Amino acid sequence: MATVSDITVSAAINSLSALIFLVAFAILRLQPINDRVYFPKWYLKGIRETPSTSGPFVKKFVNLDFRMYLRFLNWVPAALRMPEPELIDHAGLDSAVYIRIYLLGLKIFVPIALLAFAVLLPVNYTGENFKIVSLNMKDITFGEIDKFSISNVPAASKRLIAHIAMAYVFTFWTCYVLYKEYKIVTDMRLHFLASENRRPDQFTVLVRNVPPDPDESVSDHVDHFFRVNHPDQYLSHQVVYNANKLAKMVAQKKHLHNRLIYYTNKHERNPDKRPTTKTGFWGLWGKKIDAIKYYTDEIDKLSTEEVEERERVIGDPKAVVPAAFVSFRSRWGAAVCAQTQQTRNPTRWLTDWAPEPRDVYWDNLAIPFVELNVRRLLMAGALFGLTFCFIVPIALVQTLANIESIEKVVPFLKPLINKRSIKSVIQGFLPGIVLKLFLIILPMILMAMSKIEGFTALSALEARSAGKFHLFLLVNVFFGSIIAGTALEQLKEFLNQSPSEIPKTVGVSIPMKATFFITYIMVDGWAGIAAEILRLVPLVMYHLKNIFLVKTEKDREEAMDPGSLLWPVTEPRMQLYFLLGLVYSTVTPILLPFIIVFFAFSYLVFRHQIINVYHQKYESAASFWPDVNRRILIGLTISQFTLLGLLSTKNATNSTPFLLVLPVLTFWFHRFCKNRFESAFRKFPLQDAMIKDTLERATEPHLDLKSYLQDAYIHPVFKDGEIDTSMDVYDDDDYPVVATRRSSRKGSQVGTREGSPDERSGILAV
Amino acid sequence: MATVSDITVSAAINSLSALIFLVAFAILRLQPINDRVYFPKWYLKGIRETPSTSGPFVKKFVNLDFRMYLRFLNWVPAALRMPEPELIDHAGLDSAVYIRIYLLGLKIFVPIALLAFAVLLPVNYTGENFKIVSLNMKDITFGEIDKFSISNVPAASKRLIAHIAMAYVFTFWTCYVLYKEYKIVTDMRLHFLASENRRPDQFTVLVRNVPPDPDESVSDHVDHFFRVNHPDQYLSHQVVYNANKLAKMVAQKKHLHNRLIYYTNKHERNPDKRPTTKTGFWGLWGKKIDAIKYYTDEIDKLSTEEVEERERVIGDPKAVVPAAFVSFRSRWGAAVCAQTQQTRNPTRWLTDWAPEPRDVYWDNLAIPFVELNVRRLLMAGALFGLTFCFIVPIALVQTLANIESIEKVVPFLKPLINKRSIKSVIQGFLPGIVLKLFLIILPMILMAMSKIEGFTALSALEARSAGKFHLFLLVNVFFGSIIAGTALEQLKEFLNQSPSEIPKTVGVSIPMKATFFITYIMVDGWAGIAAEILRLVPLVMYHLKNIFLVKTEKDREEAMDPGSLLWPVTEPRMQLYFLLGLVYSTVTPILLPFIIVFFAFSYLVFRHQIINVYHQKYESAASFWPDVNRRILIGLTISQFTLLGLLSTKNATNSTPFLLVLPVLTFWFHRFCKNRFESAFRKFPLQDAMIKDTLERATEPHLDLKSYLQDAYIHPVFKDGEIDTSMDVYDDDDYPVVATRRSSRKGSQVGTREGSPDERSGILAV
C-alpha cells in the first residue's frame, strides 16, 4: 500500500510534467510559425490570416516580444471569457454541450467532496480498525491512505450507518444534478434547432429497403410510392448510387497527386537531379524509375478509368442502391414521414430523418434487413470476445512487469531472462508498448465494428463506438484493475465465482485500489490532458507537410489538422472518472479532490481547444446527451452495488435491503428521464416544424425549395468542382481522419455566409 | 417417487372425472331449458330464439328425444367443422387467433415428442444409472419414470451429447414454428384490419395531458392546437368528462332496480304478503321495512341526485379532464397524428390510437405524467412483493399437508393436532381452501393493480394483468413447486444461494418433479378444461336469475352470461404448459404426451366455447400475439438454462459453452421477431390507411363523417336511451364482469347489421 508520501511524490511528478507541457504549450503557441497548429479554427473561419508582419525575417517564425512570455498563462482567462451563447455560435452546440459534461462533473463532485470530507473522513479516521487489524494479521498491509477510508471502520460497526446515509445523499444529489442538466441541455437543443437556418436535412427523409419492383426503376418506384402516400407533401427525391469503387479511385488519385507534388517540389529545389522512386510498395523497393513521369502517367491512367467508372455508375441501373433521400414541401411533411410507418412490412420502406449531408455514411445505405440483423448479432459476439478476452492480456501484461512471476510461469526461460539487458527491456518497455499499441488501434477496431453493424450516419457510428469503448473501459480498466490487479490467480477464481459474489469481490478490493486509481487519475487525467493542449503530433505533422508538400497558401490550409473532439474516445474516458468518483465517494473520499482537479483542468483545456483548435465534422445538436446521462447512471449503479458488496463483507448484511433500494430508484430515475426527455433527442415535434414552416412561408413566400434541395444529397464524388484535388473519402480503415470537402465548404462560404450551422460546425481539411 | 402404476391410476381418475364432466355437459346441453347457458352466442347474434316447440309442456324444459342422447359426442365434429374464415367472422379475430395458440402447442410438441421418443428414450433407458445409483446410495429413491428420464444417464456419460443435440434441434424447431405462426397471425391481422368496416377508432386519436391554459377551456385549447398543427386533416374533437361519480350512481341505481324487480316478482307470486327487507348491509340486519316501497323511494331519490350530478358534470368546466378524443378527416390523418410527437415536451399532448369505444377505460384518462411514473414504480414494487412473498405461503401449505413437519415446526401444538378430527381437517381441506381462495381472487388483485398503473383501454389492462399473472405462475407454480416442493428447508437455503447456482438447483430438481407435473397437467389441464365446458357456475346463476328476476324476454336475455375468454387468466396458464413441455422435452420426454393431450383437448373445448358461448367484450385484432410469442421464448430460455444447470451437475460442465449459445440465439430470435413483426401490432401503416381512405372516397363520396363520429366517444352515461336500465359500469373491484351496453349493441344491430366487427365481437350482457 502506498503511503501518503508516495502519493505526494507521484502528485508532484505528474503536476510537474503537466506544468512542463503547459509551459511548452505557452511558448510554442506564441511563435507565428505554429499559429496554424494552435489556432486553426480561426483560419478555417477566415478570421485569421497567415501573419505577414513586416520587419526582420526571423519574426515570421519566432516571437521576439518577450513581454508576451511573461504572461504565458493568459490563455486561461481567454478560454473562460467567451460566453456560452457565443461559444455555441462559434463552435456548435455539440462542442458547447461537450464541455458542459466537465462542468457537470464539478457540479456533482464538489458538493459530494465537501460533504464526504466533513462527515466520512472523521468517521473513518476515528474508526481505528487499523490498530485492530495490524495487531491481529500480518499479511494485510495498511497504508496511511486507508486510515481515511472505510477500511479503517471495524466490521459490523455502527459507524457504517454514516456510509449508508451518505450513499443515499450522494445518489439523490447526483440524480438531482443530472435531472437539472438534462433539462438545460434539452432546452439548449430545442432552442438551437428552433433558431437554425434552413438546412436540407430538415426537409429530407432517408428511405431504406425500397422493395424491388420488376416493372419500375428504383427512382420511379420511390416517386410513385410517395406521390400516392404523401400526396400533399412529397416534393422530390434523390436516388443513391453505389459509388464506393469510384470514391476509392478518387482517393487513390489524390494520394498520387500528393506524391507528385512532393517530387515536383524536390525537383524545383534541386533542378539538376530528376527525383526517382521505386515501383514497389510505398516506393521502398522494386525498379528505380523517374518519379515525376511515373506519377504523371499513373494519374492520367487513373483519370481515364475514373471517367469510365463515373459513366458506368450513372448509366447502370444496378449501381442504384434500394435507398433514397426523399424531400418534402415542408418540415411538417418530413417530420410526419420520418416518424410513421409506411407499409405493412416493417422491414421495407424504412423511413428516418436524413442525416445532414456531411454526416451521411454512404457505404451502409444498401444493407437489407435480415443481413443487418445477422451483422449485429455477429458484432455483438465479437464485442463480447474483444471485451472479455482482452482481460487476459491485461492481466498477463501486469504479471509480465514482474520478473519473478515470469520465471515461475516459464521456468525454462530463466537463464535468458536473468541477462541484465533483456531483463530491463522486458521490465521496462515491452508490456507497456504492447498494451499502448493495442489501446491506440482499439478505437479504430471499434469504429470498424460499428461500420459493419450498418449505421448510416457518422454521428451514429461515433455514438455506437463510444458505447463499445465505454463497455471496454468499464470491464478492462475498472474491473480489470480491481480484480486482476491484485493477482492473476484471482482472475480464474473470479470467473468460477457466482454473479452474486462479484459485488463482494469487487467491494473488498475497492478500498485497496484507491492509491492505484489516484495515480491513474494523475497520469491519465492530469498529464494526459496537458499533453492534449500541446498537440505534439499535429505540430510535427504540420511542419513536415509544410516542408515537403506545401506550395501555395491553399496547400498550407490543407496541411492544417484542426482535429476534432474524438467523441468515441474522450467521452468514455471521461465516464471512467465519473465512475471512479461515485464509487470512491463513500469508500475513500480522499480520491475526490483528484477527480475534481481533473474535471476543472479538462474543462479549461477543452474550452480552449474548442475555441481555438477543433473543427467538428458534423453538428448533431447534442444528440449524445441521453448516452451521457445513461452512462453516469450506470456508474452510479455500479457504485451502489460495490458499496453493497463491501458492506456485506463487513458483517453488515442487514444493510443489504437498504442499499438494494438505491439501484431500483436509480433505474426508475433512468426510465423517468428517458420518458421525460429522450424524445426531444430522437424526434422532431410537429408543432415546432409547423412554426418554422409558417415563419418561412411568411418571410420567403417565393422560395424555390426544389432547386434548393436538388443537389443536397448527391454522393460527394458526383459534386461538381474540384473533384480531382479534394474529395470525400470514407475509408473503412481510416478511422479518425475522415473528410476533405472543399467543394461543400466553398459552397457554404458563398451560400450561407452569416454563421449558418453548416459553416459553424465546419469541415475537416486534411 | 411415483411408479408408472401410480401415474396410470392418476391418469385413470382424471380421465374419468373429465369424462364425467363431458357426459354431464352432453346431457345438459340437450335440455331446452339450458339452451341459453350453452348457446348464448347464437342468441346474442339474434339467430337463435327461445325454443317454443309445440307439444307437451315438459318438452320445453327436458329433451325427450332419446336418439339425441346416443350421439352425445356430436358436439366434437360440430366444433371442428366451422372453417377459420367463418370462425373469424363469427367470433372475431381475437378468439380465432386465441385457439390457434393451442394448435401452435400441437405443432411444436408433436414433432418434438416423436423425436424425443425415438432418440432420447432409448438413450435414457439404456443408461442404467439406476442400477449404479441404487447400489451406491440409499436415500435417493428411483421411480420407474426415472428410467426413461435423463436421471438414468450416468454422470459425465457420452450419452449426454444426445441431449445437447436434441436441445439444439428443439430450439430451432420451436423458433421455426414460432416464426411461421407469427407470420401467419400478422397476415391475418393485417387482412382483418384491411377488410374491416368503417369504425370510429380508425379516425380518432386519444390525446392526453392537454396542458392547462389560463385563457381557454380545454375544448377550445384542443380545437386550436389541432387546427394549427394538423390544418388539413383535423375534423372535430370530443372532450372527456370526469363522470366517475355519475357512473357509480347509475350502477347503484341499477342494483336497486334489480332488488326492486326481485321483490315485485316475489309479491306477484304471493300477493298476500308484502315482502320486507332490512335497512342494513345487503338487507341482513337493521330495521324491518316494506321492501317494494323502500326500493321505489331509494330509486326516486337517486334519480333526482343523478339528474343534478349529470347537469353539474356537463356544466362545470372543472369536470372536464385534460384529455380528448380528436377525430380526423381521414384514416391517414389519424395515423399520422397517432404516430408522431406533437410538441417539444413529450409529457404533453400525448397522442395514441383511440381504443374502440367499448374498450375505453374512462377512469384513467386524466392521470398526469409524473403521477403515472410514480404509480408504475409503486405497482412494480407491489408486484414484486406479491410474487416473491407468496412463495412462502405455497411452501407453508405444502408443508402443512404433512402432519409430521407441523409437529416439528410447532411442537406445542402436538396434542391438539393429534386429535383425529382436527388432523383430517388440517390435512384434507384447510391448505387447499386457503390456496384456492387466494388463487381465485388473485386475477382481480392483478387487474386492480393494472388499473392503478393507469392504462386507458380494457385491452391494455388485460394484457398487463396477463403479464403479471404469467410472472406469478412462473415464480410460484413452476419454480415454487420445483424448489420449495422438495422441502421447506430448501427454500431458505435457496434464497441465500448465488444466482448462478439457481440453474443447478432447479436443474437437479427438474427430473425429480416430473411425476408431480404429470399429475398437475392431468388435474389442472385435463379435468379443469372439461369443467370449463360444463359451465357449472353460469348454469346455476342463470337458473337462479331466471327464477327470481326474469319477467320479460329482455330480462332473460340479460340473465344470460356468455362469459368471455378471460385472457388474463387463461393465456398465462397455457404458457405454463408450453414451459413444462419445453423444459421436459430433453429431460423427461415421457411428460410430452400429457401436454399434447392437454393442447388437443383444450383446442376442441375452446373451439366449441368460442363458437357457441363466449362473447368478447372488445376486438383487439390479435394485438396480444407479441406477448404470446415473447412468453413462449421465455419458456424456451428457461428450458435451456435448466438443462445447462442439470448437465453441469452431471459433471458435464464442458457442455456449458455449447448450451450458452442457445439462450443467446433465442434472445436474438426474439429481437428479430420484434423488429420484423411487432410494428404490425402497434402501428397502422400509412399505405394501408391511404388505400382505405381512397376506396371509401370512391364508394361513398358524400359520407358525412362528422355526424358519424359525433357521439362515438361520449362517456356511456351520457348516451341517450335506456340509461336507467342498462349501462356501462366500470367498477374497480368487479373484475371479470364488465359491461352491459344495450344501447350501443342496439345501435350496432341497426347501423352495421351485416356482420360488422362491432357486432361480431359483441357485447357482454350481465
Is the pLDDT at A717 greater than 90? The verdict is no
Residue B285 has pLDDT above 50, yes or no: yes
- For B154, the 3-state DSSP assignment is coil
pLDDT of B487 > 50? The answer is no
How big is the A-B interface in CB pairs under 8 Å? Answer: 113
Query: CA–CA distance from A622 to each of A333, A614, A619, A628 (Å)?
Result: 24, 16, 8, 10
pLDDT at B231 > cutoff 70: yes
Nearest chain A residue (CA) to B232: A232
Alpha carbon separation from A506 to A312, A403, A642 (Å, rounded): 60, 27, 6
Residues of A in Cβ contact (< 8 Å) with B384: none
Stronger pLDDT, A449 or B751, i.e. the higher one: A449
Say if residue A10's pLDDT is above 50.
Answer: yes
| Nearest by CB: B342 against A342, A680, A686 | A686
Residue A738 is predicted with a pLDDT of: 34
Of A280-294, A685-699, B528-542, which range is least confident?
A280-294
Summary mean pLDDT of chain B: 76
**Rg (alpha carbons) of chain B, rounded to whole number:** 29
Q: What is the pLDDT of residues A643-667, one digit of tens each?
A: 888 887 776 666 777 788 899 899 9
C-alpha–C-alpha distance, residues B266 and B273, integer Å:
9
Report helix, strand and coil shares of chain B as percent, to nearest 5.
Answer: 70, 5, 25
Highest mean pLDDT (candidates A616-630, A723-737, B278-292, B378-392): A616-630
Tell me how far CA of residue A649 lies from CA of A145, A496, A512, in angstroms.
Answer: 20, 19, 14
Cβ of B685 and A342 within 8 Å?
Answer: yes
Chain B residue numbers with beta carbons less than 8 Å from the beta carbon of A341 are 339, 679, 683-686
pLDDT at A101: 92
Instruction: With cut-offs at 50, 70 and 90, classify the pLDDT of residue B631.
Output: very high
pLDDT at B488: 41
Q: What does the radius of gyration of chain A's CA atoms come to, in whole angstroms?
A: 29
Answer whether B394's CB lies under 8 Å from B480's CB: yes
Nearest to A341 among B344, B675, B679 (CB): B679
Report the pLDDT averaged over residues B393-409.
60
Say which of B498, B672, B675 has its CB closest to residue A498. Answer: B498
pLDDT value of position A173 = 94
The interface pTM score, or ipTM, of the predicted complex is 0.72
Query: A191 and chain B: CB distance < 8 Å anywhere?
Result: no
C-alpha cell read off for B221: 385549447
Which chain A residue shows the shortest CA-CA distance from B686?
A342
- Let me know: does B530 contact B603? Beta carbons within 8 Å: no
The pLDDT score that the predictor gives to residue A66 is 64
- Of A576-585, B214-223, B630-639, where does mean pLDDT reach its minimum? B214-223
B384 touches A: beta carbon within 8 Å: no
- The confidence score (pLDDT) of residue B546 equals 75
pLDDT at A766: 27
Is A501 in Cβ contact with B499 (below 8 Å)?
no
* Set of chain B residues whose Cβ sits within 8 Å of the Cβ of A680: 344, 346
Exposed e or buried b for every residue in A58-81, given b needs 16+ CB within 10 A?
Answer: eeeeebeeeeeeeeeeebeeebee
Give the pLDDT band of residue A184 (cuts 50, 70, 90). very high
A659 touches A171 (CB < 8 A): no
Q: Are strands A320-328 and B288-290 parallel, antiparallel or unpaired?
A: unpaired
B50 at A interface, C-beta within 8 A: no
Contact between B80 and B566 under an 8 Å Cβ cutoff? The reply is no
Task: Quote the cell numbers at residue B248.
Answer: 357509480
Rounded-to-10 torsion of CA A356, A357, A358, A361: 100
B contacts of A671 (beta carbons < 8 Å): 373
Polymer length of chain A:
766
- Give the pLDDT mean for B696-717: 81
Question: Considering chain A, what is the average pLDDT of its residues?
Answer: 76
Cα B124 from Cα B127, distance rounded (Å): 5
**pLDDT value of position A737:** 34
pLDDT for res B86: 85
Q: Which three cell numbers, joined as nine digits, stand for B104?
A: 401452435
pLDDT at B62: 63
Inform me whether the pLDDT recorded for A491 exceeds 50.
no
C-alpha cell at A292: 515525376
The pLDDT score that the predictor gives to residue B626 is 92
Per-residue confidence (pLDDT) for residue B578, from 0 to 100 = 93
Contact B346 A672 (CB under 8 A): no
Angle at B493 between CA B490 and CA B497, to 5 degrees: 130
Q: Which residue has the higher pLDDT, A720 or B545?
A: B545
Provide CB contacts within 8 A for A315, sequence distance 6+. none
Q: Sign (positive/negative) of CA torsion A475, A477, A483, A484?
A: positive
Residue with cell 415446526: B409
Identify which of A365, A450, A353 has the alpha carbon closest to the alpha carbon of residue A715: A365
The predicted model gives B430-444 an average pLDDT of 72
pLDDT band at A531 (very low <50, low <70, confident <90, very high): confident
Question: Which residue from A229, A373, A500 is facing B675, i.e. has the nearest CB?
Answer: A373
Interface test with A, best of B341, B370, B670, B679 (most A CBs within 10 A): B341
Distance between start and end Cα atoms, chain A: 48
Higher pLDDT, B484 or B452: B452
- DSSP designation for A360: B
Q: What is the mean pLDDT of residues A131-135?
A: 53
* Yes or no, beta carbons of A373 and B671 under 8 Å apart: yes
Q: Is A339 on the interface with B (CB under 8 A)?
A: yes
Chain A closest-CA separation from residue B229 CA (Å): 6
Site of grid cell 428479430: B672
More confident residue, A249 or A105: A105
Predicted confidence band at B67 (pLDDT cuts at 50, 70, 90)? low
Encode pLDDT of B317-344 as tens digits: 777 888 888 888 888 888 888 888 888 8
Ranking A238-247, A499-508, A582-591 by mean pLDDT, the lowest is A499-508
Cβ(B680)–Cβ(B174) below 8 Å = no
pTM above 0.80, yes or no: no
Q: What is the pLDDT of residue B101?
A: 92
Least confident of A159-163, A258-262, A524-528, A555-559: A555-559
DSSP three-state, residue A208: strand
pLDDT exceeds cutoff 70 at B645: yes
**Stretch (H or E) spanning B324:** strand B320-328
Question: Which grid coordinates belong to B378?
Answer: 409503486
List of residues 6+ apart from B175 with CB closer than 8 A: B636, B665, B666, B669
User: What is the nearest CA distance from A185 to chain B, expressed in angstroms?
Assistant: 13
Tell me: the pLDDT tens digits for A456-487? 888 888 889 999 999 888 887 787 777 654 43
More confident call, A416 vs B183: B183
B401 backbone dihedrals φ, ψ, rounded to 5°? -60, -15
Worst-scoring range by mean pLDDT, A462-471, B494-503, B589-598? Answer: B494-503
Of the pLDDT bands very low, low, confident and very high (cuts 50, 70, 90), residue B129 is low
Residues of chain B in contact with residue A496, where contact means CB-CB under 8 angstroms, are none
Report, as an integer, the average pLDDT of B512-541: 80
Of the pLDDT bands very low, low, confident and very high (cuts 50, 70, 90), residue B193 is confident
Query: Which range, A282-296, A618-632, B196-210, B538-552, is most confident?
Result: A618-632
